[in-house]
Chains A and B, each alone.
Chain A
């Protein structure tokens, strides 16, 4: 295993919207070992409250050794993180978890909802690198992204478009792209039977997609969120139920799972 605990410098903090923030760290060691779908545990304050680190998907890494996370301010920890200034040091632990298993780009369909979009940018980048190293014309994955409204979704869609990927967008209020859910967009797509889904978003969205994929007998990888204390398999606090009975641990066995292995009815 190659996991690291490091104090790294925050290079920049970008407010994407009122409550969505993107942080860029200079973290070459973690960045070079990172795979799409993996996460980092971030210390949000040097004090004792909040005590625990917070998990965030690795949003993007660059060849210069930058690592990004993208998050929504929800509570104490994310609020403190949003206030960290460029030049300050933050402790990261990672890369943690298993990461996505990458298939062929042309048969990949990436579906992200809300902050679940975060890991998909890194994934899309890897797909493109993979297809360009294959020395054939770039094969693009299909990407469907959904969020509440235009303000939240548009800047994230732009990131994918910069990579040359056309995004199918959906918003709850219809202010950008399709008016409705990403699952509706998916249903209308007529994906080839061999296409595999890579999905991250709110639980109801992932449950709906898992259900669709089960009917169509389609491969579907999902990125699962739970509360976490350690992020590295030590506390056993991140258990989620398996379809076959018993529990699995999101931080060490996941966070990426084959959707059919999990119990979605809870």
Chain B
């Protein structure tokens, strides 16, 4: 009778990101899940591995003029312009609801300067319910002529160190794919003290309307996300996981449990579901169910057996 008991037992889906333990590897991707509450009718929020919230800056930001989004083949471009309520209102208006969910809240932060990142981290220090900080380094450094922090290993390291200096919770640095060699930045932020890296952020792209001869986004260029970017994201996760010792979180076009587990095979300890939430607001539940079913069916001791288990001849 023993095997039967084994099979009906809840599968072990736990993973950890530094000192942060997650009940399963499935998180939401920043900017695709609002502040969580928007999804309460569609997904069991308490079941998520973690909730990653929309990027927060020091002051509120209004965002870009419309049109801000455009659909492309198997994906979408966005130029939201990092619209958000600012860190103070996030803490007072959004955090109480999130903290009550009982799952780790990962706060995605962004800034114009190293000091802005540091100040946001300082404000967030000690706020109850925050499980980790995710640093979005795909933002332009205003003091360096608008070059994105994430495209320069030194700037990326400086931001990482500044945030790390303020935080008791793990610091996840979210890497930009818009670089020649993503492993260089990954190693730089690891050395600067990052507890984990997450990747990929959106790929910079563009769409044009032939009829009007205008760009389809008011901002001209925007970030590509969705199924279209999955192969690129998988490749980058694979490359980074081979060169860093810290956990890697896989992001990019994940819509199903199969997608998620492919990222784990490539070396990810956890994953984030992004654009898929727009099409299927219950996507995270489906991904968790699918992973649980796979782990049970394959009679695996734990989902952790998938991490980096890619068979390369």
Contacts and interface: CB of A to CB of B under 8 A. Distances in A.
Interface of A: 1-5, 43, 48-53, 93, 226-230, 232-241, 246-247, 252
Contacts, number: 99
Given A1-B40, A5-B42, A240-B66, A232 B71 contact: no
A239 B74 contact: no
A82 B96 CA distance: 45
7 contacts: A5-B42, A51-B275, A226-B66, A228-B69, A229-B78, A232-B39, A234-B32
B280 interface: yes
B34 A233 contact: yes
A53 B76 CA distance: 12
A239 B282 contact: no
Interface of B: 31-34, 38-42, 54, 62-71, 73-76, 78, 80, 83, 226-227, 275, 277-282
Contact of A48 (B31, B64, B74, B78): B74
Contact of B71 (A43, A50, A239): A50
Given A50-B71, A51-B71, A234-B33, 15 more contacts: A3-B42, A5-B42, A5-B281, A51-B75, A51-B227, A52-B71, A226-B66, A230-B32, A234-B281, A236-B31, A236-B80, A237-B69, A238-B68, A239-B64, A247-B63
A49 B39 contact: no
A1 B65 CA distance: 29
With a 10 A CB-CB cut-off, give which of A1, A232, A238, A246 has the most chain B CB atoms: A232
B76 A229 contact: yes
With a 10 A CB-CB cut-off, give which of B32, B78, B279, B282 has the most chain A CB atoms: B279
A53 B277 CA distance: 11
Contact of A234 (B34, B65, B226, B280): B34
Contact of A52 (B41, B66, B279): B279
A229 B42 contact: no
A247 B85 CA distance: 12
A229 B73 contact: no
A48 B66 contact: no
Nearest to B54: A236
Contact of A227 (B40, B69, B281): B69
A53 B73 CA distance: 14
